[in-house]
Chains A and B, each alone.
Chain A
Amino acid sequence: MKTLTSHEIEEILRSRLPENSLLDVQHELPQPSFTLQAEALVEACTFLRDDSRTYFDFLNCLSGIDSGPESNRLGVVYHLSSIPHGHRIVLKVWTSRDGKNPIPSVAQIWRTAEWHEREAFDLVGIPFSGHPDLRRILMPDDWEGHPLRKDYENPESYHGIQIQY
């Protein structure tokens, strides 16, 4: 049981992943974060979970983020922790807002990602590829738009019911 620093995790990850797939690394405490290329995400996550040195067996949280129309990007943030080792790391993946470049799903690696990804799809509108059951989860199935987008406009009516704000 050895708690690794973010520098050590970076070294392990760099030795394993293809060149240039680690886009950005922030070592600032309290929460160091790695930004990955979307194509390398599944490989990196599988490796981080299975390797005995890192062993990130617990996906704490998966959040979808919209940075707004100006920056034109959507992000997914993964908070991982290792129960036996006790270290934690943040992974980030970015995609464009048009929905043409889906982010690979990690639901096969951590089952908890299944609902979290459905939520990110529902509220932020992030497309995931390879997800077993990508449906809306919190909003009604016939809802239009994704409420947590920065340019989302509140609907005036729903099924003919006027909504007053």
Chain B
Amino acid sequence: MKTPLTSGPQKVELEYADLLQRSSAYRTRLQDLQSEEMVLNMGPQHPSTHGVLRLELVTDGELVMDVVPHIGYLHRCFEKHAESLPFPQIIPYTDRLDYMASMNNNLAFVMTVEKMLGMKGKIPKRIEYIRVLVAELNRIASHLVAIGTFGLDIGAVTPFLWCFRDREHILKLMEWICGARMLYNYIWVGGLFYDLPMGFEAQCEAFVKYFKPKVAELNRLLTENSIFVQRTANIGVLPRDLAISYGCSGPVLRGSGLKMDLRRVDGYGVYPEIDFEVCIGKGEMGALGDCWDRYKVRVDEIEQSLKIISQCLEKLTKEHKRTAEFDPRGLCPPKVRPKAGEYYGRAENPKGELGFFIVADGRSDIPQRCKVRGPSFSNLQVVPAISRGVLIADLIAILGSMDFVLGEVDR
């Protein structure tokens, strides 16, 4: 409180009284405002909704009383298309589900089809290691977008630029592997499109070396930033039982403190041979399961992914070296025709559990039904449940911490 220019205790008291009166009048006015609910549309072109999501907000002053998400603006009929395409031709369509992590989508779909064909366990180790390598590279790229845009949503511009600068290095590596920056179509049923290009392992190693200090830098800039912590700690607390009931998975579920990672639980691919930790939220800055915890899980997962990449590179340069007779398409079946039956295959995507439920009739090489269980679909569904009574600005933080991709929600 500034010392008043006109001195004397009486004057100060008067000023205080005046201030109190005015503030109580202000409070009354605020209450008048609060008595009326207003419906506000957020989206579909709002930048912080991360795509074309429309939220119908019932607001009361600055408070959010209810949220009704309206989705479907990006519906591209994936499941309908899949019912008229042979299995290998569906792979490019899976790229476009979660377009931030196309390699992981490819991997999940291909693993499901391979399981239906009875090819599980017959894939050469070199192919398996390359698959895990590219999936983890893509996981880092996806998490970098999540972290960068989360910071941007709540006012931190620099981390966004840093994250996209480093993501660019990964996209360049990916482009070198398969010719595309974001939509790869690289992992095929029974193999890969190409082997790794010559000299890729060294470049990837150089990237890991370059990127490790950058993560520490990012932590200093954003993770422990007190403004960032104030905006995210204790906001959007998602209790564990609610997360499970709503089918949340991935960093959202782990942020609530549950050690649930399909790479460990199912142990698909070569993940059982790889040493890494499952990162969970610990409630370090506030309540367990708040926005900060979900954010921290992603930052920690980047470090674990780097660890996995280093181990894959070691295996690929020593044990499972590139040889002249190695053919990445050698096992690709000329016609993919699974036996009649149905199978639900799942894999851990950067956003959570991506599942494909495929029904085959055994007569054709086209699936009868191909249902996608997108992790973002379930993760987005929980937003209304944890957003009632928060401020509008905090709703932006909650949306950012969920890290959904509308390409996968709407399919």
Interface of A with B (CB < 8 Å)? Answer: 30-31, 57-61, 63-66, 77, 79, 83, 86, 90, 110-112, 114-115, 123, 136-140, 147-148
Contacts and interface: CB of A to CB of B under 8 A. Distances in A.
Contacts of B344: 31, 60-61, 79, 90
B162 interface: no
Contacts of A137: 71-72
Given A30-B343, A83-B258, A147-B80, A61 B244 contact: no
B167 interface: no
Nearest to B75: A138
B203 interface: no
A61 B357 contact: yes
A148 B80 contact: yes
Given A31-B344, A111-B242, 12 more contacts: A59-B247, A61-B344, A63-B369, A77-B357, A79-B355, A86-B265, A111-B247, A112-B247, A139-B72, A140-B72, A147-B80, A148-B79
B80 to A, nearest CB: 5
B72 A110 contact: no
Interface of B: 71-72, 75, 77, 79-80, 83, 115, 242, 244-247, 258, 260, 265, 342-344, 346, 353, 355, 357, 359, 369, 371, 373, 377-378, 381, 385, 410-411
B252 to A, nearest CB: 12
B71 to A, nearest CB: 6
A164 to B, nearest CB: 16
Contacts of B245: 57, 110-112
A103 to B, nearest CB: 16
A109 to B, nearest CB: 9
Given A31-B344, A61-B373, A110-B245, A83 B72 contact: no
A35 B65 CA distance: 41
Rank and list the top 10 A-B pairs by shortest CB-CB distance, nearest first.
A112-B247, A61-B373, A63-B371, A138-B72, A138-B75, A111-B245, A111-B246, A115-B381, A63-B357, A79-B344
A83 B247 CA distance: 11
Contacts of A77: 342, 357
A83 B244 contact: yes
A121 B30 CA distance: 43
A112 B265 contact: no
B247 A58 contact: yes
A79 B381 contact: no
A98 B18 CA distance: 72
Contacts of B75: 138-139
A64 B381 CA distance: 19
Contacts of B246: 111-112
Question: Interface majority SS on B: helix, strand, loop or mixed?
Answer: mixed
Contacts of B83: 148
A61 B80 CA distance: 18
B383 to A, nearest CB: 11
27 contacts: A57-B244, A59-B247, A61-B355, A61-B373, A63-B357, A63-B369, A63-B371, A77-B342, A77-B357, A86-B265, A110-B247, A111-B245, A111-B385, A112-B246, A112-B378, A112-B381, A115-B377, A115-B378, A115-B381, A123-B79, A136-B72, A138-B71, A138-B72, A139-B72, A139-B75, A147-B80, A148-B79
Nearest to A114: B381
Nearest to B83: A148
A112 B355 CA distance: 15
B119 to A, nearest CB: 13
A65 B411 CA distance: 17
B77 A147 contact: yes
Nearest to B120: A30
A111 B245 CA distance: 5
B353 A60 contact: yes
A138 B372 CA distance: 13
A110 B381 CA distance: 12
A148 B75 CA distance: 13
Among A64, A111, A123, A139, max chain B CB count under 10 A is at A111
A112 B380 CA distance: 10
Given A115-B381, A147-B77, A60 B72 contact: no
B104 to A, nearest CB: 17
Given A60-B247, A147-B80, A138 B411 contact: yes
A138 B244 contact: no
A115 B244 CA distance: 15
A24 B265 CA distance: 29
Contacts of B258: 83
A148 B385 CA distance: 30
A79 B357 CA distance: 9
Among A58, A61, A111, A115, max chain B CB count under 10 A is at A61
A160 to B, nearest CB: 20
A61 B101 CA distance: 21
Contacts of B381: 111-112, 114-115
A65 B359 contact: yes
